[in-house]
Amino acid sequence: MADRYLKATGNWNNNNTWSATDGGAAGASFPTSSDSVHFTANSNGLTLTVNVSSNCINFVADEANTATVAGASNITVTGNVTLHANMTWSHTGVLFCVDTAGNKTLTSAGKTFGGQVWFSGAGGGYTLQDDLSCGTNSFVPYRGTINTNGQMVTCGNFALLDANAKTITLGSSIINCTSWTYSGSNLTVTANTSTINVTGTGNFTGGSITTYHHVNLNGTAHTILGDNTIEKLRLAAGSTITITPASTQTIRALRTLSTAASPTIIQTGGAAATIQSHRGYCGLNHVNLTSIVAGEKYKYYAGDNSTDGTGNTNWIFTHNSRRGSRRWVGRHR
């Protein structure tokens, strides 16, 4: 193992870009998977261009510096990633975090990663030390243990892929994403008190593997795929929500922000889906329901101002038809 310090503006695979010591002479061999990369005050004003797929152990800003990391090739790090707020990150390649032993950390220091961020080390893991953003690029917990540690994650697709063993602990994190996609297996999610915000027209696929805490579908149209269990689900006003036909959504509190001017549409586009609650109650308003089965008779109030489309079962659409005293969960405000 050796240390490599950014010494001059240049490409990753150019020996003249690197020094073997902080402030030392240029000409050390460029970093490989056996080396750690360092940025110090002696890196001020320098630009490192990642021009080839590159590897290192740690990728660390040891102290304040104004270096720029650029280029479009991928970086694979098996240790810690630590940036500094004074750095510039214009790199657009994939950042692969591939710890295979113990637990490493990722500190982005307010920088937005310009490419996808993958966690893909078998037997290892990463803990976020601050908020992480990769813009509209995917955040991919592919393998290992990932602890978002209560930090905010902003990304495009939050992608849970393939059959590799992976564990995610969300804590109190807020996840802002354009879709949440589970399309694999061997995944353990501890949702804790986290909030998942899905924007635009992205899908939510929870995989029926945990009880998600808060899920907010904030865009204009979303598809809920497969069976899901959610503590609190909130739907935006004027949105169209399409649920997988014949699926079951178990939701303790379903809230819509719909109004007379902006009703929410909940539909399947095919065979009926079921919405049921842990406690057996649900209250809505200004909602257009089509092909939705309520989990129990006479307990699910669609609202006097809601529309009964075709294929609905067990819903109450008029106040006078409600039987007995019911608790409204997720009532429109």
Average pLDDT on 137-156 reads 98
Whether 139 shows a pLDDT value over 70: the answer reads yes
Whether 48 shows a pLDDT value over 90: the answer reads yes
pLDDT recorded at residue 138: 99
pLDDT recorded at residue 212: 96
Weakest-pLDDT range from 104-118, 121-135, 273-287: 273-287
- Please report which helix (H) or strand (E) contains residue 161, including its range: strand 157-162
DSSP character for 8? S
Strand order in the sheet with 47-50: 10-11, 47-50, 68-71, 88-89
Whether 320 shows a pLDDT value over 90: the answer reads no
Mean predicted lDDT score pLDDT of the chain: 94
User: What is the widest separation between alpha-carbon atoms in the chain?
Assistant: 85
Residue appearing with tokens 């995610």: 168
Please report, as a single letter, which amino acid is at residue 305. Answer: N
Please report, as a single letter, which amino acid is at residue 290. Answer: T
Query: Going by DSSP bridges, is the β-strand pair 35-39/59-61 parallel, antiparallel, or unpaired?
Result: parallel
Tokens for 162? 């393939």
Average pLDDT on 83-101 reads 98
pLDDT recorded at residue 330: 44
Tokens for 312? 């609905």
Beta bridge partners of 126: 104, 146
Q: Which residue has the higher pLDDT, 71 or 296?
A: 71
Spatial separation of the C-alpha atoms in residues 209 and 227, rounded to whole Å: 9
pLDDT recorded at residue 269: 93
3 state SS of 126: strand
pLDDT recorded at residue 327: 40
Whether 282 shows a pLDDT value over 80: the answer reads no
Give 157-214 pLDDT, tens digit per residue.
999 999 999 999 999 999 999 999 998 889 999 999 999 999 999 999 998 889 999 9
Query: How sure is the predictor about 281, in pLDDT bands with cuts at 50, 70 and 90?
Result: low
Query: How sure is the predictor about 333, in pLDDT bands with cuts at 50, 70 and 90?
Result: very low
Query: How sure is the predictor about 78, in pLDDT bands with cuts at 50, 70 and 90?
Result: very high
pLDDT recorded at residue 299: 83
Q: Where are the beta strands (DSSP E) in 185-291?
A: 187-190, 195-198, 211-217, 221-224, 228-235, 240-243, 248-256, 264-267, 273-276, 282-283, 287-289
pLDDT recorded at residue 273: 98
pLDDT recorded at residue 326: 39
Spatial separation of the C-alpha atoms in residues 126 and 124, rounded to whole Å: 7
Whether 311 shows a pLDDT value over 90: the answer reads yes
| C-alpha 235, offset from chain centre | 18
Average pLDDT on 95-104 reads 95
Beta bridge partners of 6: 18
Q: Specify burial of residue 323 (Cβ count, 10 A radius: 0-12, 13-18, 19+).
A: exposed
SS3 content of the chain, % helix, strand, coil (to 5): 5, 45, 50
Average pLDDT on 281-287 reads 85
Whether 219 shows a pLDDT value over 50: the answer reads yes
Q: Tally Cβ neighbours within 10 Å of residue 88.
A: 13
Whether 81 shows a pLDDT value over 80: the answer reads yes
Whether 154 shows a pLDDT value over 90: the answer reads yes
pLDDT recorded at residue 1: 84
Handedness of CA 297, 318, 308, 280 (dihedral sign): negative
